[in-house]
Amino acid sequence: MVKGVPIPHWHELQVTPSSLLSLYSRSVLPTQVATNEGVFLLVAIIGTIAFATSGVLAAAEAGLDWLGATVLAVVVSIGGGTLRDILIGNFPVTWVRDEWPVVVALCTVVVGLAVLRLPVHIDPRNQLWYLASDAIGLGAFVVLGTSIALESGTSSFIAVFMGVITGVGGGVIRDLFTGRTPMVFVGQVYAVAGLLGAIVYVGLRETNASEPLRVWIPVAVVVILRALAIRFDLHLPRTGSDRTSSY
């Protein structure tokens, strides 16, 4: 615990938007990166919901049961951040110290499973929903991970890679758990989009731009690059014979 920064116990928490903001702004990690506008809180919530959604959709496509979908969505949401925390020595890892990302992921699972059960047909195999949620999660977590690494004292060079690891880590776990070749290895431009977004964020930190602009511009860069890569089927050069990607 950081001196002077109380962390509430689970039984003291009332899960409302205002209480989530209060909890996040009082916990160890967000005291390093949160702003008065709550911009990092919003980015973190968006990223968690987006990646949890991609986990539910991937689970539905793979034919997993509800427990499998729940486990997958939660692991996708916290996987990249967990790996980042281990690499930079941030212990206990964020979600152990502060449960709200798991709570948000679980709520997303409940909503996602309910929507998939509606009479209105929603095909989880529709790649648009899956890719859109993944792109948003990638952008949000790349920026958040880069900022956390910088505030932890890493160099800008290392922070960029920590941001990319935060962004792609959960997706790699998701793809492995559902029997896919990880998108980061074979899909359209993916990690490169995260890399460029992290570099843009580091660069904007050196300017006089407002905090919201420093955050949302890199997120938009990542999402737009992913959208362009998907739309025009942009790939890095392959090492072997060319194969059509399913992403």
Q: How many domains does the chain have?
A: 1
Torsion of CA 191, 131, 173, 75, to 10 degrees: 120
Q: Examine residue 26 and state whether it is found in any structural domain, yes or no.
A: no
Q: Examine residue 25 and state whether it is found in any structural domain, yes or no.
A: no
Q: Examine residue 199 and state whether it is found in any structural domain, yes or no.
A: yes
Q: Examine residue 23 and state whether it is found in any structural domain, yes or no.
A: no
Q: Examine residue 20 and state whether it is found in any structural domain, yes or no.
A: no
pLDDT the model gives residue 117: 86
Q: Examine residue 117 and state whether it is found in any structural domain, yes or no.
A: yes
Instruction: Give residue 143's domain range.
Output: 31-232
Q: Examine residue 158 and state whether it is found in any structural domain, yes or no.
A: yes
Helix spans in 152-245 (H)? 156-177, 183-186, 191-205, 211-232
pLDDT the model gives residue 35: 40
Q: Examine residue 245 and state whether it is found in any structural domain, yes or no.
A: no
pLDDT the model gives residue 163: 98
Please give the model's pTM, rounded to 2 decimal places. 0.81
**In the chain, which residues have pLDDT < 50?**
1-8, 10-11, 13, 15-37, 246
